[in-house]
Structure 1
């Protein structure tokens, strides 16, 4: 197996231009330690990450449904594993998580169909957008679209550079597989 040209950067090699970010979100996960190979991208990423991950109109549960489906559609084992862990920490059952990889019913199904539309058609068709707007609101639709794009970008980085699943997540899923 070839060695990645951009493995996660360790503390001793952390770029000085983003030294202030190492103790925050950027130093906690291999995805951002990989992104640290491009310090200005990592610094620019931070405000969008804050909105997508923390301050979005979807709320934490809907956001995880979007991210899980995006990770599934990408085939990104890193995103899937990390967001199975996060979904569990939010109280989402394994049954519900597994359903996201298939076709769930109800609101989760509506969200999954919207994610799939973005993958398949690069837009959400009008009838589905209207149904979503009635259910979750337009700002949440914008955040759904942005979340998919955000995680497609992260997935591209992760899969291009074969970023390993963080040890704690790998251990968690080994002990309690989905």
Structure 2
């Protein structure tokens, strides 16, 4: 049976000649970016935003992972959920806290509930309510609120790519979750 997915992750052998330096960096390490490599100019442009959202965010690692996990859950992105369960564990989130991202914000710790509520509002209505915006600004400042919004947008775009092209989970993440599953 022929493969009906023309957007499989680009192999090393087929890596675009216009972006050879990206293969050994972040882009070569994850299937989602190997799918984006079908459009080298987009992947190259994506690089600076990714550097900020992933590595330079004012949210910090814990808050960032909470926002990403909630975004992945809300968008039904199994790849993002799996990828960030492993990352969240690496930065110290326990499985109870990680699993809480699947539930109602009123069942979460207050700091996580604020983040999850913000994600939910952005995904449901494309804006923060005045009350959530005021709390975010009071607790995280303008940079934190803007980084949260950028993170939701960034990971929404990745979820659209991942789901549209049925991007397979990276082998190391699949192995980590087989060894230590998150589900009850």
Q: TM class by shorter-chain length?
A: over 0.9
- 1:160 corresponds to which of 138, 156, 164: 164
In the alignment, structure 1 segments of 5+ residues that lack a partner are none
Q: Could you say which residue in structure 1 is the equivalent of 2:78?
A: 77
Q: Structure 1 runs of 4+ off > 4 angstroms?
A: none
TM-fit CA distance, 1:94: 0.3
TM-score, scaled to structure 2: 0.94
What TM-score comes out, normalization by structure 1 length? Answer: 0.97
Question: Residues of 2 paired with 1:152 and 1:146: CA distance?
Answer: 10
Which of 115, 132, 136 aligns to 1:132? It is 136
Cα shift at 1:4: 1.4
**How do 1:1-178 and structure 2 match up within 5 A?**
3-102=4-103, 103=105, 104-178=108-182
The CA deviation string for residues 80-126 of structure 1, in whole angstroms up to 9 with x for no partner, is: 00000000000100000001111213100000000000011110011
Structure 2: gaps spanning 5 or more residues: none
What's the secondary structure of 2:27's corresponding residue? helix
Equivalents in 2 of 1:139, 1:48: separation in Å? Answer: 15
Aligned length: 178
SS at match of 2:156: helix
CA RMSD of aligned residues (A): 1.1
